[in-house]
Amino acid sequence: MKETKTRRSELSRKTKESDIQVRLDLDGSGEIEVRTGIAFLDHMISSLAFHAGFDLTLCAVGDLEVDDHHTAEDSAVALGEAFAVCVGDRRGLARFGSAYAPLDEALMRAVVDLSGRPYAVIEWNLSRESIGGLATENAAHWFRSFANAGGLTLHVDLLRGENDHHKIEAAFKATALALRQAVVRTGISQIPSTKGVL
């Protein structure tokens, strides 16, 4: 039986600190537009969408005159909320995904569980203060915010690496590949849990 249900969502998130519009399609065709005002973050979110196979439009206007924190955090929250809408009750999905991604000397591992229980462990060693307008501390915070809003368990671990740009980019790519596995339709109509609910 062919699955025809679309896995798309569209939402707006507006606070006193940011105004974000998101359109997400888990069954994408390569249409990606990301504009946050933070060049490196745009590059990373675009890479995540591309390697996960998602279509994504994410446009954010934030208080960058303060710093990058609110825009980074709120873009992750908005994308996580859109993702949660797309996967719904997780019925018929693989649920779990894991992947490794290298970038030159850097090697990252990401493991994801669409558990409905938000939790993130992000372990890497970064030495630079910022890259392309993004504070490196906000890179890890982005993953935690995305996992929390998306209702998923996420582990991202650095296995080796020296260059902080390479480490962060490999983290986004590994997470993308793990998400791509987790959202695969299995053809089984059950919720993927012995509890019967996620």
We report the CATH number of the domain holding residue 54 as 3.30.230.40
* pLDDT value at residue 2: 45
Within a domain: 142? yes
Within-domain flag for 188? no
The reported pLDDT for the residue numbered 195 is: 84
The total of structural domains in the chain comes to 1
pTM across the whole model = 0.95
| Encoded tokens for 12 | 């707006």
Whole-angstrom distance, CA of residue 95 vs CA of residue 117: 12
3, part of any domain: no
132-189 confidence digits (pLDDT tens): 999 999 999 999 999 999 999 999 999 999 999 999 999 999 999 999 999 999 999 8
Please report whether residue 27 resides in a domain: yes
The three-state DSSP-derived secondary structure of 60-95 is: EEECCCCCCHHHHHHHHHHHHHHHHHHHCCCCCECC
- Structural domain includes residue 196: no
pLDDT average, residue stretch 118-138:
96
Residue 198 domain flag: no
Note whether residue 191 is domain-resident: no
- Domain containing 110 equals 8-182
pLDDT tops 90 at residue 4: no
What local confidence, expressed as pLDDT, does residue 194 receive?
Answer: 82
Residue 1 pLDDT grade (very low, low, confident, very high; cuts 50, 70, 90): very low
Is 2 inside any structural domain?
no
